[in-house]
Structure 1
Amino acid sequence: MDKQNSRFRWSVFTSVLFTYLLMASQRTAPGLITDQVMRDFSVTASTIGLLTSIQFFVYTGLQIPMGILADRYGPNFFLIIGAFLTGAGTIIYSLGTNEFVLFIARILTGTGDATIWVNMVLILGQWFKVKEFVRLIGIAGMTGSLGFLLATVPFSAWIQLLGWRAAFFSAGILLCLCGILLYYVLIQKPKQIHFSESATVKDGLKREKMSVLLRRIFSSRQAWALFFCHFGVVGAYVGFIGSWAVPYGMGVYGMTRSAASQLIMVGLIGALIGAPLTSWISSRLGTIKRPYIVVHLTILLSWCTFLLFKGMPPFLMLYLLFFLIGFGYGASALTFAVVRQTFPIEEAGVVSGVANTGGFLSAVLLPSIMGMVLDHFQHASSSISNGYYYGFITPVIFSIIGLIGIMSIKEGSREKGYS
């Protein structure tokens, strides 16, 4: 039986996305208990900052290796292991007795988290045809944003009900159960139904040395175009929203912490809408590049607007800008639709890893660069709005890089490996 024509592919889709929803929630859920962790473990704010960033660094550093491993040995095994690692890390976090244990827990969680996106892209690529994939990758991107949303009010209520240790412990158990579910759905059940496998998918990379493969990928203009495309659209959103959005609202506009947090929520709403909508539009138009160029231009103009108004646009416009920037981040799932469309499926894991590395490398760089700019203006006794004004030059430059990336992409379906 052919995987791409079976009804069972929707069970695969649902199971994988539910696991992604839970894993994505654990990226940001520890931020809900920062004050409690500082109090319970007597740690400083800098320790909390390192604890928060270490998962991010592990995730970014493992994207290309994970793509290589997934292409060579198949994505199913690594996604299952990733669910168990994320679950184990979350459980250990809930049982931690000192900061060293917490660090180990977040490293485990980051390692498990690093498996999800690349392997999910490959699994969906195996079970769905190219046209279906373009539509569904937007839903997958939306699921990640829903995971971030789950880690706000719902998980906060769960913590308030059970206490933070019991809440994280239960989340870890649920993730381990997802690992068992994925084993049944991805490995056990397909064996019983006897789905046909493509010889190209199974054996393609075994006939080629890894050094040869990597040399070809890293010399590919298309792969680098995808790297820079994702660099421009992801980092500006994740890096700014995740680190400076709340301080910006409080420092420049005099908002309360609660009101400034609404800026993050507006961006998140934009991401929830942007992912499925842009995928649907691309599918209807039969092209990914043209609508994606519009998205990149919109993001660039949004960041330029901050510069136009000296870092302090009118209040209502501020919410619109955050929505548009979030919308663009949601549309970033189109990067992987291009990977699926233009690379053989046996190479899609490596290329997806390269593209995803670009996105999260910019997310690592932007907070640090903006922080140095703000520190400079603070030491110069300048106004905080001046600091943010010059700080916004960074996401503008990143967005220009992203626009160059998407304009450099060559669009066109390669049927080999996709049937």
Structure 2
Amino acid sequence: MDKANHKFRWVIFASVLVAYLFMSSQRTAPGLITDQLMRDFSVTASTIGLVTSIQFFVYTGLQIPMGLLADRYGPILFLIIGTALTGLGTIIYGVTTHEYVLIFARILTGIGDATIWVNMILVLSMWFNQKEFTRLIGIAGMTGSLGFLLATVPFSVLIVSLGWRGAFFTAGVVLCLCSTWLYFIFVKKANQPLFVKKEGPREKITVLLRRVCLNRQAWALFLCHFGLVGGYIGFIGSWAVPYMIDVYGISRLDASQLVLISLLGALIGAPLIGWLASYLGAIKRTYVVFHLMVLLCWSTFLFFPNHPPFYILIILFFMIGFGFGSNSLTFAIVRQTFPVTESGIVSGFANTGGFLSAVLLPSIFGFILDYFQATSGQIVDGYYYGFFTPVIFAIFGLIGVLFVRVGGTGSLYQLSKRN
């Protein structure tokens, strides 16, 4: 089958995106029921914080191993199993009556979630040519933001209708059905093997990992993702709402609406930036522009000693979300500069950078807030100095994109020799 010219590739694309949509929604959906979990399980906020964050720790830690496995055995098996594990973890989350099982459920969900992005990239690389890939990776990034959006009002309605247990059980069943559908599409209809048997001697994992860790291009892509993802997911997903409540004195509902504005920016930015980079044929220059834009937006918070005017805040939230949509270009550069046989581990390495920053930023920001509240009692000062964190992260991202090489495909070995 000529995959790059076969019409069935669009069925493949749509099927994987639907699975990604529901999987990404389960990253943030538990945040809707924090108070209910504390009441039903009689646990503290710190326990709920552990339950919430454990998925991201697991996800981050598995990105490089998943890239290695995907390169060695192909992406199809891991897509199917990962979707099923996310569904199973979500079902367990909805039916358990013990807090330790809640943690186990989120670990399962994190393992499953860790499979989706790297393997989705490999599937798109196999079924679409380079120009199509650059456009479609933006749509894939938009789907992740749609998943976050799905975990707001729509999932809240489902919780009201079915109760939180019924809502999570239903979401888990849907994900298990998605896993079954992926098996049917890939194995039964497209006649793709679950395992890819590669001929010839296999390189030792330690040798390959060492080469990745010594490769300038891989580290540049790591920093690109580190600079964009942590600021957006880390801040918007943790401190954005408290910031607006504490500093601007608005209600939680109004603050949540501003978060939706940022999500809207990401929804628009991801496909538009992907299309723009493909149309111009200038991935690096496009990426540099949006890294600069995000750095300028975060730096704007430091230009106002108290806080930016509210109308500027709205613009900043939208533009930060819009700029976040450019993060998919990281993987377009991976596709352009590395062969498919090595793009899994490089994609996993780059994605580790993004979610490492998403894990670090809330903790660093929270530490700064605690320090200023304890020493001066002025939480507004804490927020002001806290914004140095996403600014520094964005500087790392800009450094990364400036060191990126584009044009021409070479193996890790060849790129290492050039570097």
Same fold (TM over 0.5): yes
1:337 matched residue in structure 2: 332
| Residue type at the aligned position of 1:408 | F
Mapped to 2, the partners of 1:370 and 1:145 lie a distance apart of: 23
Kept in 2, the 8 Å contact 1:311–1:388? The answer is: no
Asked if the contact 2:234/2:359 (under 8 Å) is kept, the reply is: yes
1:376 corresponds in structure 2 to: 371
The DSSP-based 3-state class of the residue aligned with 1:97 is coil
Question: Which has the larger displacement, 291-300 or 182-191?
Answer: 182-191
Unpaired segments of 5 or more residues in structure 2?
Answer: 413-419
In structure 1, the residue matched to 2:100 is: 100
- Would you say 1:398 and 2:412 are equivalent positions? no
Partner of 1:112: 112
Pick the aligned partner of 1:259 from 254, 274, 279.
254
Decide whether the 8 Å contact of 2:342 with 2:411 is kept in 1: no
Distance in 2 between the 1:207 and 1:106 partners?
34
Q: How far did 1:415 drift?
A: 8.1
Aligned identity (percent) is 67
Root-mean-square deviation (Å): 1.7
Per the alignment, in what secondary structure is the counterpart of residue 163 of structure 1?
A: helix
CA distance in 2, matches of 1:171, 1:203: 36
- 1:235 corresponding residue in structure 2: 230
Q: Distance in 1 between matches of 2:264 and 2:64?
A: 30
1:277 aligns with 2:245: no
Q: Give the 3-state SS of the residue equivalent to 1:347 in structure 2.
A: helix
1:147 maps to 147
Corresponding residue number in structure 2 for 1:198: none
Show CA shifts across 1:219-268 (max 9, x none).
11100000001000110111111111011001111111111112211110
Correspondence 1:179 to 2:189: no
* Cross-structure match for 2:206: 211
TM-superposed deviation, 1:382:
3.9
- Kept in 1, the 8 Å contact 2:306–2:384? The answer is yes
Indicate if the aligned counterparts of 2:338 and 2:410 stay in contact, CA closer than 8 A.
Answer: no
2:359 to 360, 364, 367: 364
Q: CA deviation at 1:81?
A: 0.4
Report the alpha carbon displacement of residue 205 of structure 1 after superposing the two structures with TM.
8.3
The alpha-carbon deviation at position 48 of structure 1 amounts to: 0.7
- Aligned equivalents of 1:47 and 1:54: distance in 2? 11
Cα 1:42–1:65 shift into 2, 3 Å:
same
**Kept after mapping to 2: 8 A contact 1:94/1:169:** yes
Measure, in 2, the Cα distance between the counterparts of 1:167 and 1:13: 27
Per the alignment, do residues 167 and 206 of structure 1 end up closer, same or farther by CA in structure 2, a change over 3 Å counting?
A: farther
Q: In the alignment, is the contact (CA less than 8 A) between 2:226 and 2:353 conserved in 1?
A: yes
For 2:52 and 2:282, how far apart are their aligned partners in 1? 38
Q: Which residue of 2 aligns with 1:352?
A: 347
CA distance in structure 1 between the partners assigned to 2:261 and 2:225 by the alignment? 21
**Residues of 2 paired with 1:243 and 1:416: CA distance?**
39
TM-score, length of structure 2 as denominator length: 0.95
> 2:291: which partner in 1?
296
* Secondary structure of the structure 2 residue equivalent to 1:313: coil
The one-letter amino acid of 1:336's match is F
CA distance in 1, matches of 2:200, 2:410: 18
Secondary structure in structure 2 of the residue aligned to 1:414: coil
Amino acid in structure 1 at the alignment position of 2:366: G
Cα deviation code 1:298-332 (max 9, x no counterpart): 00000110000125011100010011111111110
Q: Distance in 2 between matches of 1:416 and 1:228?
A: 20
Q: Distance in 1 between matches of 2:164 and 2:392?
A: 40
Deviation at 1:375, TM superposition (A): 0.7
C-alpha distance in structure 2 between counterparts of 1:87 and 1:46, whole Å: 25
Which deviates more from structure 2 when the two are superposed, residues 379-388 or residues 113-122? 379-388
Structure 1 residues 154 and 357, CA gap change in structure 2 (3 angstroms): same
Aligned length: 411
1:194-236, CA deviations, whole angstroms, 9 ceiling, x for partnerless residues? 89xxxxx852785322222222222111000000010001101
In the alignment, which residue of structure 1 is the partner of 2:220?
Answer: 225
Aligned pairs (5 A) from 1:15-30: 15-30=15-30
The question of 1:410 aligning with 2:405 is answered yes
C-alpha contact (below 8 Å) 2:373/2:379 kept by paired residues: yes
Structure 1 residues 166-212: Cα deviation after superposition (integer angstroms, max 9, x where no partner): 11111111100111111111222222xx89xxxxx852785322222
Structure 1 stretches of at least 4 aligned residues deviating more than 6 Å after TM superposition = none
For residues 161 and 154 of structure 1, the distance between their equivalents in structure 2, rounded to whole angstroms, comes to 11
